[in-house]
């Protein structure tokens, strides 16, 4: 199973990072989003990251140009008609993702693998809307993608061993470390991380301490690189809420109840760093 041409769907913070690391590893990448401005924002982030690599001596100017040369703009999902792998990184919403997978199944070549970067949604349910469930898999990158080493690889119920192996090999080519997990809500990463973040939000909601104090306790006391409220802003509060809802619904256990303060912020449009305001304000 040879992978050379890739399409990444969604040019947001994750999709742009995934497209960058794939192009850096020598793959041809089509970066797809719904509007020109969303693609342009993603490409802007990639260009900034690559320029920093040049400034730091990790890459030459001509290598940077070669990476950018392997990236193509796509505003039409039909561009998936000649790729070997699609990595979907659109919003964390089952009906949006299922609609994308249904379309991809009709458009992408028969041999193509359809992967999702979903944080928590069942891979098996995405696979079920396609006629190729054995070629559907989870490829869960961590944020910021160019920096973080882990890719959680999630086997759906029907994912074939050949497809798993191809994705594990491809992950290593990206200089990332693959970790195999099974398909349960939140997988491993977010089943453990997100309840901690949700608990930090409850701690704020119940007035146990202010936001800076909560973040300081976890940063200075547990050596976390970011406090949980800063990390929630960095991930996106909409994504955090979707993940908690997936855990709550998937396990039917009240211990995963999303904090009402998280819901309130999302309803207010305070989605964190990407909208300029979450628990903190960003200029
Ligand atoms: N994109 C690309 N590179 C970035 C970056 C970004 N968004 N943010 C930081 N970097 C790079 C910087 O350029 C810097 O590299 P160089 O100086 O060598 O060029 C390096 O990372 C360190 O950055 P800083 O010195 O500015 O800051 P830092 O030491 O605090 O590190 C961090 C930044 C790596 C983001 C660190 O704070 C960290 O590890 N935070 C926690 C990240 C984390 O937990 N991620 C997982 C989120 S959960 C998830 O992803 C799963 C999900 O489904 C929600
Ligand atoms: P984001 O909001 O930054 O970006 C999402 C992008 O998808 C936007 O540019 C949007 O225009 C685009 N999009 C939406 N619907 C689309 C469609 N039908 N076709 C093409 N593009 C479409 O979100 P993000 O933080 O990059 O998250 C994307 C996915 O990655 C989610 O499933 C999320 O759970 C997952 N994820 C997020 C993180 C994180 O820390 N933010 C980490 C790992 C995984």
pLDDT tens, 45-88? Answer: 999 999 999 999 999 999 999 999 999 999 999 999 999 999 99
- Is 212 assigned a catalytic role? no
Ligand 2 pocket test, pick from 7, 8, 9, 15 with the greatest ligand atom count within 8 Å of Cβ, gives 15
Q: Is the peptide bond before 200 cis (omega within 30 degrees of 0)?
A: no
Percentage of the residues of the chain whose pLDDT score is greater than 70: 100
Give CA–CA dist 12/274, Å, rounded. 10
Q: Residue 190: which residues within 8 A CB-CB, separation 6 or more?
A: 119, 120, 243, 247
pLDDT tens, 210-234? Answer: 999 999 999 999 999 999 999 999 9
CB 183 within 8 A of CB 123: yes
Place of tokens 């990463």: 189
Domains of the chain: 5-182 (3.40.50.720), 190-274 (1.10.1040.10)
pLDDT tens, 103-147? Answer: 999 999 999 999 999 999 999 999 999 999 999 999 999 999 999
- Is 140 assigned a catalytic role? yes
Percentage of the residues of the chain whose pLDDT score is greater than 90: 99
Give CA–CA dist 194/21, Å, rounded. 25
pLDDT tens, 154-175? Answer: 999 999 999 999 999 999 999 9
CB 279 within 8 A of CB 204: yes
Q: Tell me: pLDDT of 1 over 80.
A: no
Q: Tell me: pLDDT of 187 over 80.
A: yes
Output the pTM of the full model: 0.97
- The pLDDT, as a whole number, for residue 195 is 98
Q: Hey, what are 265's tokens?
A: 């912020």
In 2-96, at which residue ranges do the beta strands (DSSP E only) sit?
5-9, 28-32, 71-74, 85-88
Q: Which atom, in ligand 2's list, is nearest to the CA of 93? A: 32
The mean pLDDT value of the chain amounts to 97
Rounded to two decimals, the ipTM of the complex is 0.98
- The pLDDT, as a whole number, for residue 225 is 98
Pocket of ligand 1 (CB under 6 A): 49, 52, 56, 119, 142-144, 146-148, 189-190, 193, 225-226, 231, 235, 239
């Amino acid at each position: 199973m040879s992978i050379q041409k890739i399409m990444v769907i969604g040019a947001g913070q994750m999709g742009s990072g995934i497209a960058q690391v794939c192009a850096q590893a020598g793959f041809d990448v089509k970066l797809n989003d719904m509007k020109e401005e969303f693609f342009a924002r993603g490409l802007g982030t990639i260009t900034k990251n690559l320029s920093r690599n040049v400034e730091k001596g990790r890459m030459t100017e001509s290598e940077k140009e070669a990476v950018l040369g392997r990236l193509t703009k796509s505003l039409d999902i039909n561009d998936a008609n000649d790729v070997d792998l699609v990595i979907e990184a659109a919003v964390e919403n089952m009906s949006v993702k299922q609609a994308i997978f249904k379309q991809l199944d009709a458009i992408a070549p028969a041999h193509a693998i359809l992967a999702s970067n979903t944080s928590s949604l069942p891979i098996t349910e995405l696979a079920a809307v396609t006629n190729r469930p054995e070629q559907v898999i989870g490829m869960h990158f961590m944020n910021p993608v160019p920096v973080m080493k882990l890719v959680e690889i999630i086997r759906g119920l029907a994912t074939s061993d050949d497809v798993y192996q191809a994705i594990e090999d491809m992950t290593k080519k990206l200089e990332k470390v693959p970790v195999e997990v099974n398909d349960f809500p939140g997988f491993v990463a977010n089943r453990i991380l997100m309840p901690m973040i949700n608990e930090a939000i409850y701690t704020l909601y119940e007035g146990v301490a202010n936001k800076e104090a909560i973040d300081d306790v976890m940063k200075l006391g547990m050596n976390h690189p970011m406090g949980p409220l800063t990390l929630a802003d960095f991930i996106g509060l909409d994504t955090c809420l979707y993940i908690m809802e997936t855990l709550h619904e998937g396990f039917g256990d009240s211990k995963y109840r999303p904090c009402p303060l998280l819901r309130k912020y999302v309803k207010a449009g305070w989605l964190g760093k990407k909208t300029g305001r979450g628990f903190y304000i960003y200029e």
